[in-house]
Amino acid sequence: MKYFTKSIGAYKATATFYLHEPSKEIDPNRKYPVMVVVPGGAYFWTSDREAEPVALTFFAEDYHTVVINYSTEGLASYSDDKQLPINPVSAFPNPLIELAQVLAIIRENAELWSVKSNEITVLGFSAGGNLAAQLGVYWHEKWLSELVHQPAETFKPNNLVLAYAPLDFVNIHSDDGKVNYAALGVLNPNESELRKISPIYHVTENMPPCFLWHTTEDPLVSVENSLKMSAVLQKNKIPFELHLYQRGVHGAALGDSRTSRNSTQNNPQAASWVNLLLGWLDGDSESIDKS
């Protein structure tokens, strides 16, 4: 394995790369699909539980993997006795720019790293799912290309995976407004501002295929987010697959001991999402190979 970390952007974001290395014993000409892992954390921080364990899981399935720790102020900055940070680095569109830059770096090095440039999947959990979906709806926009300083095609995701993601901030009501502040830099945003970070309102024919999963008992991010997004994807004729599990708290990640803080996050039923996703991606890969 080739393992290294790169600084991304101007706000101390990083991307950690887990790359397969050529071997004369294992098809030295092989090229690999890429899984870009985007952890959640309410835009306060990026969760370790939704980072390296996930990356290593997909690395073992023959993917190059990358974990982006996009810019955040850190969980301690939002504790009850702290004044809110001024101009939080997590505010839109900073993390979106950073995520786009990571995809551009991958494609820029596609030959060197033996990358399948048309098989780059972005997998986001919770707030990371919101960020992944932002890239899905905005990648083709001229303003984003200008901010990234790269052509849009260099950071286009080929597939999105949205795990228990908040996709409609207009209808998410935070008790203290801190999540909105971290995501937008505005404590009491109006509806127009909330729509900017609500991908559900911006889906067009340019949206990549999506794989969504959620638990219906999620107490923090309502399953309505995934249901509404699925309806919008269907309306726009975007290929998608949706998996709902009855039981489970928010933040299940892999759903087993590799990512569980305690027994409430062990969810054998929901843990099936990994194999379901791999099957979905294999089908997409076969259609690409035939085209």
Buried b / exposed e over 121-150, threshold 16 CB at 10 Å, is: bbbbbbbbbbbbbbbbbbbbeeebbeebeb
pTM for this predicted structure: 0.94
Range of the domain at 191: 2-290
Indicate which CATH number applies to the domain containing 54. Answer: 3.40.50.1820
Answer whether the bond into residue 151 is a cis peptide, omega within 30°: no
> What span, in angstroms and rounded, lies between the C-alpha atoms of 143 and 92?
13
* Residue written as token pair 């998410």: 172
pLDDT in tens, the chain (291 residues): 999 999 999 999 999 999 999 888 988 889 999 999 999 999 999 999 999 999 999 999 999 999 999 999 999 999 877 789 999 999 999 999 999 999 999 999 999 999 999 999 999 999 999 999 999 999 999 999 999 999 999 999 999 999 999 999 999 876 668 999 999 999 899 999 999 999 999 999 999 999 999 999 999 999 999 999 999 999 999 999 999 999 887 878 776 768 777 777 777 788 899 999 999 999 865 555 544
Q: What is the CA radius of gyration of the chain?
A: 18
Count the domains in the chain. Answer: 1
Cβ count within 10 A of residue 11: 17
Closest among 174, 259, 182 to 221, alpha carbons compared: 174
Helix 94-108 and helix 127-138: axis angle, to 10°? 70
